[in-house]
Structure 1
Amino acid sequence: MGLKTPQQYVESLRDGRVTYWDGERIDDITTHPRFKVPIALTAADCEYDAPDLGALRRYRTEAGDDAHRIYQIPMNEGDLATRVEMLRNTSIGTAVSGVYMALMSVKDDVAQVNPQCAANIERMYRYCRDNDLRAAEVITDAKGDRKRRAHEQDDPDLYVRIVDRNKDGIVVRGAKLHITAASLVHELVVMPTKGMRQDEKDYAVSFSIPVNTKGVSIINRSFAPAELNAFDYPASAHHSMPEGFVVFDDVFVPWDRVFLAGEVQLASRLAQSLGLWERTGGLIEAVRMSELFVGLAQLVSEHQGKDKDPTVMNTIAELITYAEMLRMSLDYACRHYERTPSGMVHPNILAINAAKYYYAANYHQTVRHLHDVSGGLVLTLPLESDLRHEPSGSYLRKYLHTKKDVDVETRMRVYNLIRDLTADAYGGWQFVVALQAGGGLTAQRIMMHRTYDLARAKERALIAAGALPRGGDATRKAAE
């Protein structure tokens, strides 16, 4: 019980979990070089006494105990703003525990259909919170042939499904893909990947189990090699996190850990709830990244002596527009929050989806602007080892010189960050994540159609066209 120290977090990962990477089964991830950076990154979130961030990381529960703020249920605008600030300063290895925010936001809906499942959500939330555990967002199925429903696939296990039910629980089989930090958490929280029909009851399943449960295997992949030079890879060397391919091979789940077991009418509701919080997290990261892009573009142009060039200034203005649109969108979504029946506050659904769509749809073009300002050195700049070695270092200092007040090493660091963020290890991961995290562009389009007040828009259009008189409810009914 209680908050973990960083060392206690690391020790808690020595629990016999089955983890693979590059054809190797890793029995103790805490001593393996591939996990060194991601474990250190996540363990840092347990530094609750840190002078700068310690207070931001913890909050006081209703029982008077300290818990990580990732588990604080926002009840007002201030709580929501504090949560956003906390997520700005939290590793993704901890941020994924926000899956319990999604579950708690739909607990009221679940209770109307299955009160026991709602009680299970509440109990597991408190268990993870009170024991300072980390939980993964386990949602995306393998899916097979996308033209066919879950129960129509050649292999019925291409969506996670219930293969047996008994008095003690359920048995599940299948796999979930793209599970960030799966090997570094304590609980795997499985959610439906989408809505299910009545003939797909076995696929409408949600639960939470320990990572070391018998039958669970995790196959890892990361955008970054185990050891990277921080000078050449200023982002990847410090921020890599493995993605897990999580397999459930006839895994037993006790009934008290089950959140959904055939209640098809709730499957899409659970999937959408996680999408909201995933997209909120993605938007928080987008705001941070877009501001970095502006700063990097300005530094490059100043180092080159082109900061007053009209073309360069126009390009940087495009980057500023992108950054400010994202920042304002996040602010709007939080200020115009929505509330669940039990009082939980969450960001405005329409605003988050519109902002996430704008971020993802324009990300690649924004990177193009940064590359256009930066030039070919983004890819061809020699390594730190060349800078430190003579005579190559002397050549680099001579020919990378631009102005007396520009330090060559600083110039190289700026270029290295641009390359790492947009054209190398971290950048390759980010190119895909910007589009796919929280669902692809289509997912945001669907949610915008569901949440935008189309009836009001039609009403106003008809009034403007002179096809309807001005006037309240009758006008709106006519528009509908």
Structure 2
Amino acid sequence: MGLMTQEQYVESLRDGRVIYWDGDKITDPPAHPNFRVPIEVAKGDYDYDNPEKRGIITYETEDGELAHRVFQVPRTEEDLQARIKLAHNMSMVGGVTGVYMALLQIKDQVAELNPQYAENIENLYRYARANDLRGAEVITDAKGDRSRKAHEQDDPDLFLRIVERNNEGIVVRGAKFHISAGSLVHELVVMPTKGMRQDEADYAVSFSIPVNAPGVKMINRSFAPAELNEFDYPASSHHSCPEAMVIFDDVLVPWGRVFLAGESRLATVFARSLGLWERTMGLVAAAESAQMLVGLAQLVVEMQGKERDIGAQNTIAELVCYAEMIKMGLDYACKHYETTPNGMIHPNILAVNAAKYYYAANYHAMMRNIHDLGGGLVLTLPMEADLRHPEAGAYLRKYMHTKPDVDVEDRMRVYNMIRDYTADAYGGWHQVTTLQAGGGLIAQRIMMNQLFDMEGAKAKARRAAGIRPKH
């Protein structure tokens, strides 16, 4: 099929997929108001006619075909840098499609256990690339009682599981939570949520299935209503993307689409592979976000006439340090990349986890800083409708005045961006996903403890303390 046009992408969503949202059963996503902004955002990934973006979002495959760069397997540092640049020009829909890199990264390990599974990974990756399809990362189970294992739950379906194996494939039942852009993609790429023991073998399952497969249903939620005023909601009105709870109601997965079916010792490998690429893309977004927050903070301070205030300068310095540390962590991870046996390179895993941890662990403190600089107007600023009202607007222009060179409307726009981005619709989503996307803080702590050269550190500490090796 080759590259899709934006119009073809929109039409591809009319495939019979089952979606529930705000109490509606949606049969025609492009026609539903809830999908207006999300689809507009997703269409940007198919903007191949834009000469400024075409070189960034496409590449030539080994077969000489043109494909979206999200499918390019990094083989050199330049390839990796091209992927980072792509992330700056890609929506959430494109971002989650990075799940194919996670699969390809572990393909060799899968092949050692079952060559057919590895072949399935390669085939599904090439199928998605050739048809310009997008795939969602589908990993987090309902989990039920966290003190019990998957097979010990009151309801055995609280972790996605295999309920039947037959000549055609496997039949799965269960649900997956927090699936960003799930209703905007074409393939659901499912992985185990955690490592599984032998007695949990039916829960060690991975596969890819079309969104419109019989038995697949999605229940959507978004951080923002369908229609928002752009002046009052400068972030939410342009960035809305639904999160889905995906239900697998006895879904038949053909054997050709199965990557794991009961081989419990590989479950952890699958679960961890996704974290690396998701956290890397999260760092790209974090670096951009942090830079913008510094700019908003500086604008607020200047508009208040406090640019020489030592307290304000100190607070902005903290925000600058935060932004630079994220950027440096990402740069270090890419420059000190690692290579898989099959020649695929990927960012340094320890560095990515350390940078993601720093970003997430300090995010709320940075929000405190910007709210402290902005003051109460972050929440209490009147709406655009009041600014446009002949009487109320006059009062706003009079009492929102600070300096002759500060336009009141511009000042309101800055405050609206701070509120929306950090303390309202989009901001609420950001507060939670900063911590949880790519795994919570504990996930990064575990990876850092496992990957750090602890023996080298202990040896250095012994030498410093004068402890001699015992023979």
One-letter identity of the residue aligned with 2:130 = D
Aligned-pair distance for 1:44?
A: 1.5
Cα displacement string for residues 136-182 of structure 1 (whole angstroms, at most 9, x for unaligned residues): 00000000000111011111000000000011100000000000011
One-letter identity of the residue aligned with 1:266 = L
Q: Is the 8 A contact 1:208 1:257 kept in 2?
A: yes
Q: Is the 8 A contact 1:49 1:55 kept in 2?
A: no
**Residue 12 (str. 1) matches residue 18 (str. 2):** no
Aligned-pair distance for 1:251?
A: 0.2
Aligned-pair distance for 1:6?
A: 0.4
One-letter identity of the residue aligned with 1:19 = I
Aligned-pair distance for 1:457?
A: 0.4
Aligned-pair distance for 1:468?
A: 2.2
Alignment of 1:49-198 (within 5 A): 49-198=49-198
Distance in 1 (alpha carbons) for counterparts of 2:19 and 2:115? 35
* Structure 2 counterpart SS, 1:248: strand
Match of 2:381?
381
Consecutive unaligned residues in structure 2, runs of 5 or more: none
One-letter identity of the residue aligned with 1:222 = S
* Structure 2 counterpart SS, 1:259: strand
Cα displacement string for residues 292-323 of structure 1 (whole angstroms, at most 9, x for unaligned residues): 11000000000000011000000000000100
After superposition, the CA RMSD in angstroms is 0.8
**Residue 361 (str. 1) matches residue 364 (str. 2):** no
Cα displacement string for residues 167-216 of structure 1 (whole angstroms, at most 9, x for unaligned residues): 11000000000000110100000011010001111000000000000000
Match of 2:297?
297
Aligned-pair distance for 1:49?
A: 1.8
Q: Which aligned segments of 4 or more residues in structure 1 are displaced greater than 3 angstroms?
A: none
Distance in 1 (alpha carbons) for counterparts of 2:379 and 2:93? 30
* Structure 1 counterpart SS, 2:173: strand
Aligned-pair distance for 1:281?
A: 1.1
Q: Is the 8 A contact 1:158 1:175 kept in 2?
A: yes
Distance in 2 (alpha carbons) for counterparts of 1:234 and 1:51? 27
Match of 1:45?
45
Match of 2:257?
257
Q: Is the 8 A contact 1:30 1:36 kept in 2?
A: yes
Distance in 2 (alpha carbons) for counterparts of 1:63 and 1:393? 61
Alignment of 1:323-338 (within 5 A): 323-338=323-338
Equivalent pairs counted in the alignment come to 471
Distance in 2 (alpha carbons) for counterparts of 1:51 and 1:396? 43
* Structure 1 counterpart SS, 2:140: coil
* Structure 2 counterpart SS, 1:306: coil
Aligned-pair distance for 1:53?
A: 1.3
* Structure 2 counterpart SS, 1:260: strand
Distance in 2 (alpha carbons) for counterparts of 1:269 and 1:388? 57
Aligned-pair distance for 1:23?
A: 1.3
Aligned-pair distance for 1:373?
A: 0.6
Cα displacement string for residues 337-356 of structure 1 (whole angstroms, at most 9, x for unaligned residues): 00110000100000000011
Distance in 2 (alpha carbons) for counterparts of 1:143 and 1:367? 31
One-letter identity of the residue aligned with 2:433 = V
Distance in 2 (alpha carbons) for counterparts of 1:49 and 1:28? 26
* Structure 2 counterpart SS, 1:64: coil
Match of 2:245?
245
One-letter identity of the residue aligned with 2:354 = A
Aligned-pair distance for 1:51?
A: 2.3
One-letter identity of the residue aligned with 1:423 = A
Percent identity between matched residues is 66
Distance in 1 (alpha carbons) for counterparts of 2:277 and 2:152? 30
Normalising by structure 2, what TM-score?
Answer: 0.99
Aligned-pair distance for 1:109?
A: 0.5
Match of 1:472?
none
Aligned-pair distance for 1:394?
A: 1.1
Distance in 2 (alpha carbons) for counterparts of 1:51 and 1:421? 30
Distance in 1 (alpha carbons) for counterparts of 2:78 and 2:129? 21
Distance in 2 (alpha carbons) for counterparts of 1:88 and 1:273? 22
Match of 2:444?
444
Alignment of 1:219-230 (within 5 A): 219-230=219-230
Distance in 1 (alpha carbons) for counterparts of 2:134 and 2:456? 43
* Structure 1 counterpart SS, 2:259: strand
One-letter identity of the residue aligned with 1:392 = A
Cα displacement string for residues 234-255 of structure 1 (whole angstroms, at most 9, x for unaligned residues): 1100001000000000000000
Distance in 1 (alpha carbons) for counterparts of 2:51 and 2:408? 34
**Residue 340 (str. 1) matches residue 340 (str. 2):** yes
Q: Is the 8 A contact 1:38 1:93 kept in 2?
A: no
* Structure 2 counterpart SS, 1:283: helix
One-letter identity of the residue aligned with 2:406 = V
* Structure 1 counterpart SS, 2:449: helix
Normalising by structure 1, what TM-score?
Answer: 0.97
Q: Is the 8 A contact 1:71 1:98 kept in 2?
A: yes
Distance in 1 (alpha carbons) for counterparts of 2:359 and 2:348? 16
Distance in 2 (alpha carbons) for counterparts of 1:234 and 1:193? 35
